[in-house]
Amino acid sequence: MTLDVFEWFSIIGTIAFAVSGAIVAMEEHYDMLGVFVLGLVTAFGGGVVRNLLIGVPVTTLWSQGLLLKTAVISIVIVFVLPNAWIYHWKKSEAFFDAIGLAAFAIQGALYAVEAGLPVSAVMVAAMMTGIGGGMIRDIMAGRKPLVLRDEIYAVWALLAGMAVGIGPMRAAWALLALFAATVTMRMLSVHYKWRLPRRKLHAYGSFDASAAEEGEGNMNMYRVLFVCLGNICRSPMAEAVFRDRVEKAGLAESIEIDSCGTGDWHLGKPPHEGTRRILEGQGISYEGMVARGIRAEDGERFDLLVAMDESNVKAIREALGNETKAEVVRFLSFVPGSRLADVPDPYYTGNFEETYELISEASERLLAHLLETGEVSAAAK
């Protein structure tokens, strides 16, 4: 019975992580081989790390034909899936990751129990199997590993390992309950932002206390958030165009770029068809972009909030108050002598070309401004 359950957990975890690895690879614009490599590494990395730790040969990987096939088929499906489905999936990214985490934590724990290891080793095996693949995925994709981010992550795998290791949670129903509990706890952590206590040290030589306080990602990053009403027309266009200019200037590592809307009608939707058409015509990627609403922490996390029009400025102030760390500016204020003060909303005007021309000009001016004022250094790549 245990073995059946064990196999089910292996299959669920493999699918969830293979899919997440493949999607991250596609978001990072890896080619087809890269998508397969990242999908497979994410699906099997945790088990390999666990085997190394508990002293079981990693070559057992090659006897997992069913799981390898499962992973390959999952990756192929993701690779051919329409973008709209993937955008939809992205909203559930944390959920799939939680399923992978819980399934592999329990599978890893059962594996260590079968090997006759003590509770401490069962816990480590659970944790490493649960978090290992995702960690390798994020590191290979150049992202900050999910496990090191804010909300409680690895602890749930450790606790699941403890429950299995101590003994009473080994019947099939108990393991299923443990699985559900682990997924639920992880999702509650994400939703309510549960964190472990932390103690902050400012990095040696850094006097940018606010960046150190921020504590996430590259401390020397300058962060820009484009804001409009619906986050489907103007601000996603600005995000994509500005990112394109920043990448071409070789400054992708120095500037973080995002966009959001003050209204919530289109949350989770990809950019408007008109914005997509313009970006495609310019050869500018909008991959992985979906609408999100403005959040309370945006005012502290970002350095610059770039509003498309005056009503966006007001809505930002209503949402975040007047005291934000981030400076709030209108985008066209970077264009000296601009005939317009606001970027017209093509959702109403239908004129996406005009919006692109204004956003293109303002993006170049904004980048020049950041370089001139020393907010971003051309050398700091």
Active site residue ranges:
228, 234, 345
- Pairwise CA distance, residues 153 & 146, whole Å: 8
- By CB under 6 A, is residue 326 in contact with ligand 4NP? no
Residues 60/129, Cβ–Cβ less than 8 Å = no
Among 16, 103, 122, 233, binds ligand 4NP (CB under 6 A): 233
- By CB under 6 A, is residue 232 in contact with ligand 4NP? yes
Among 231, 259, 324, 360, binds ligand 4NP (CB under 6 A): 231
CB of 235 to ligand 4NP, least distance (A): 6
Residue 303 structure tokens = 């350095």
Nearer to ligand 4NP, 130 or 230 (CB): 230
- By CB under 6 A, is residue 289 in contact with ligand 4NP? no
Q: Kindly indicate which of the ranges 7-15, 103-111, 166-174, 222-230 contains the residues binding ligand 4NP, using the contact rule CB under 6 A.
A: 222-230
- By CB under 6 A, is residue 129 in contact with ligand 4NP? no
What is the three-state SS of the chain? CHHHHHHHHHHHHHHHHHHHHHHHHHHCCCCHHHHHHHHHHHHHHHHHHHHHHHCCCHHHHHHCHHHHHHHHHHHHHHHHCCHHHHHHHHHCHHHHHHHHHHHHHHHHHHHHHHCCCCHHHHHHHHHHHHHHHHHHHHHHCCCCCHHHCCECCHHHHHHHHHHHHHCCCCCHHHHHHHHHHHHHHHHHHHHHCCECCCCCCCCCCCCCHHHHHHCCCCCCCEEEEEEECCCCCHHHHHHHHHHHHHHHCCCCCCEEEEEEECCCCCCCCCCCHHHHHHHHHHCCCCCCCCCCECCCCHHHHCCEEEECCHHHHHHHHHHHCCCCCCEEEEHHHHCCCCCCCCCCCHHHHCCHHHHHHHHHHHHHHHHHHHHHCCCCCCCCC
- By CB under 6 A, is residue 189 in contact with ligand 4NP? no
Q: Kindly indicate which of the ranges 132-140, 225-233, 246-254, 332-340 contains the residues binding ligand 4NP, using the contact rule CB under 6 A.
A: 225-233
Cα atoms in the 13 Å half-sphere on the side-chain side of 35: 17
CB of 324 to ligand 4NP, least distance (A): 20
What character string, x for contact with ligand 4NP (CB under 6 A) and - otherwise, covers 341-370? ----x-x-----------------------
Q: Kindly indicate which of the ranges 196-204, 227-235, 294-302, 372-380 contains the residues binding ligand 4NP, using the contact rule CB under 6 A.
A: 227-235
Number of residues that bind ligand 4NP (CB under 6 A): 11
User: Residue with CB nearest ligand 4NP?
Assistant: 230
Nearer to ligand 4NP, 70 or 231 (CB): 231
CB of 350 to ligand 4NP, least distance (A): 11
Q: Kindly indicate which of the ranges 82-90, 152-160, 165-173, 228-236 contains the residues binding ligand 4NP, using the contact rule CB under 6 A.
A: 228-236
- By CB under 6 A, is residue 234 in contact with ligand 4NP? yes
Binding to ligand 4NP in span 236-275, by CB under 6 A: 261, 265
Q: Kindly indicate which of the ranges 108-116, 159-167, 195-203, 224-232 contains the residues binding ligand 4NP, using the contact rule CB under 6 A.
A: 224-232
Residue found by looking up tokens 């970006």 in the block:
279
Residue 164 structure tokens = 């299995």
- By CB under 6 A, is residue 290 in contact with ligand 4NP? no
Nearer to ligand 4NP, 10 or 231 (CB): 231
What is the contact surface with ligand 4NP in residues (CB under 6 A)?
228-234, 261, 265, 345, 347
